[in-house]
Amino acid sequence: MRKKIFSYFVLMFVTTVLLQAQNNYEVDFYIHEDENDTIYVTSFCGAKTEISDTLIKRKDNSFHFSAKDYPMGMYMLKDAKERDMFSFLLGKSNKFSIEIYPTGKAFVKNCMENDAYMLYQYENRKYQEAMYYYKLNVQKDPDKRDSLFAALQPIMDTFENFQQHFFLTYPNNFITVAYKGMNQSVPAYFIENGQVKPDKREEYIYYMRKHYWDNFAFNDNRLLYSPYFISQFNNYVTQMTEAIPDSVCVAIDDFIQISDKKGGKEYSDYVIAWYLTNMPSMPFSYNEIIYVYMVNKYINRASEYLYPSQIEKHKMYAERVSLFLPGKIMPNIVLKDFNGKEQSLYSIKNKYTVLYFFSTTCESCKKNLDVLKDLYKLNKEYYDFEIYSIDLEEDYAIAKARQQADPYPWIVTQTSVETLRPYGFVLDHTPEMYVLDKNKRIINKTPMYEQIEKTLDAALGLEKKEKQ
């Protein structure tokens, strides 16, 4: 991948939220039969996971964690090789200790929340092990499925009873809040033999979209500081939402409206900040449409946690990106090829054009170019397309030598990023490809070869459908 042309702004929101917490903790960990002299504390905030502290074993074989200004939520201990050991909670108790054994059995002092949480984790671990061995044994001997399930059933019933009792006894425990927030009751009307009825699939998705966040505790920020919220949200925008930008934007709007209404402004702000910060680094039309939408609708709200200079960068970047979204006309690019002949993008009269920005020394580009050559050779006539490529290699001699040694069979020009700036391009990386129709209207943008063929297939399919 070619190096970025400029560095973009960082997500300020996470730091801002962390400083709002103002919670100080002193925690001791006693981990029996463990040889690690160093362990790590991992924190979560939405999609962000990071090592927050390093703990060194003391003379009494314990580890001490002194945390200042940490938010309430779920944390993970990792061993010296950064493998998960066990999770724990930071909550209302500020000074406590956890003693844990290899079996998963734990003893907690001065923290009722962790005491209950560790109990749940212990019982859940036994249940998950039973499920694992059941599936493993069924794979080994499918004929014993019924007898194996009969042996599993009492374990399942025991855990279900434990779980229900736990939720009633500890309604405000983190695990109870997380479980209820991530599980929605589904009317029997949609289900048959444990699966959604095929003829009710669309109705089921519509119902789930409307009720997806019914049980989520938006007024409890602990879920933001755990892996659970981002998992729930990702499922919402991928599984419960049609994979087109307009539908995703509506889903985001619905989420923000629900979150705000239920006292979850911190969740809303996180989602806004995430899309504003991450979408510019994902060079697909799909992502850029969402990004521009988020900037246009929510950038003023983002002023609460972004500097004015960052907001201006967002506005300028979105304005530039919007010039090259699907439906916009690609400007006529006129550049010289390696023979000194001017090549005009608008001179191409094929039904479709692939506009390809690459760099000779870019490894990702080389992989794309290899498969693009096959597509061009085998299906150029079928799709009726031409390729107009622009080599952004900074060393002209290297670029020319490569073209002379192994000429690409399509139009190959060469220029610099600076030369293309007047056209309005935002070229932060290579490869980058656009698919254009006969009128040079943009159909799609992607850095991936596979998407080119899929886009051409979709365009041909739409064309055939319109003729019927």
| pLDDT one-digit tens code per residue, 347-378 | 999 999 999 999 988 888 887 788 888 899 99
How far CA 454 is from CA of 136, 375, 458, 460, in Å, comes to: 38, 12, 6, 10
Q: What is residue 163's three-state secondary structure?
A: helix
Any idea what the CATH number is for the domain that residue 84 is in? Answer: 2.60.40
Any idea what the CATH number is for the domain that residue 453 is in? Answer: 3.40.30.10
How far CA 116 is from CA of 88, 89, 106, 127, 345, in Å, comes to: 11, 11, 10, 17, 67
Least confident range from 21-35, 62-76, 407-421: namely: 21-35
Do residues 341 and 311 share a domain? Answer: no
Judge whether 367 lies within some domain.
Answer: yes
Boundary (domain end) residue, out of 277, 293, 322: 322
Judge whether 6 lies within some domain.
Answer: no
Burial class (CB in 10 A: 0-12, 13-18, 19+), 168: exposed
**Total count of domains within the chain:** 4
On the question of pLDDT at 240 being above 90, the answer is no
Quote the pLDDT of residue 322.
92
On the question of pLDDT at 13 being above 50, the answer is no
On the question of pLDDT at 164 being above 50, the answer is yes
Judge whether 329 lies within some domain.
Answer: no
Quote the pLDDT of residue 52.
93
Do residues 344 and 295 share a domain? Answer: no
Quote the pLDDT of residue 22.
54
On the question of pLDDT at 187 being above 50, the answer is yes
How far CA 69 is from CA of 22, 54, 88, 90, in Å, comes to: 4, 16, 17, 11
Q: Outline where DSSP puts E strands in 286-384.
A: 334-336, 342-344, 352-358
CB atoms within 10 A of CB 175: 21
Do residues 360 and 392 share a domain? Answer: yes
Residues near 40 by beta carbon (within 8 Å), at least 6 away in sequence: 51, 53, 54, 55, 77, 78, 79, 82
Looking at the whole model, is its pTM more than 0.85?
no
The Cα–Cα gap between 1 and 396 comes to 19
What counts of helices (H) and strands (E) characterise the chain? 14, 17
Two structure tokens written together for 312: 């201006």
Length of the chain: 468
Do residues 412 and 345 share a domain? Answer: yes
Judge whether 227 lies within some domain.
Answer: yes
Quote the pLDDT of residue 202.
83
Judge whether 156 lies within some domain.
Answer: yes
Q: What is the dihedral of CA 203, 206, 212, 215, to 10 degrees?
A: -60
Two structure tokens written together for 111: 């923290």
Domain that includes residue 45, residue range: 13-110
Do residues 456 and 375 share a domain? Answer: yes
Residue 326 banded pLDDT, cuts 50, 70, 90: very high
The Cα–Cα gap between 80 and 58 comes to 15
Do residues 106 and 123 share a domain? Answer: no
Do residues 420 and 339 share a domain? Answer: yes
Q: Contacts from 303-310 at CB under 8 Å and sequence distance 24+? A: 304/269, 305/12, 305/13, 305/16, 305/269, 305/273, 306/9, 306/12, 306/13, 306/273, 306/276, 307/12, 310/9, 310/12
Contact at 8 Å (CB) between 357 and 428? no
Do residues 373 and 420 share a domain? Answer: yes
Residues 121-143 pLDDT 10s = 999 999 999 999 999 999 999 99
Do residues 193 and 311 share a domain? Answer: yes
Two structure tokens written together for 463: 């064309």
On the question of pLDDT at 428 being above 90, the answer is no
Contact at 8 Å (CB) between 6 and 429? no
Average pLDDT, the chain: 89
Do residues 317 and 207 share a domain? Answer: yes
Judge whether 4 lies within some domain.
Answer: no
Judge whether 134 lies within some domain.
Answer: yes
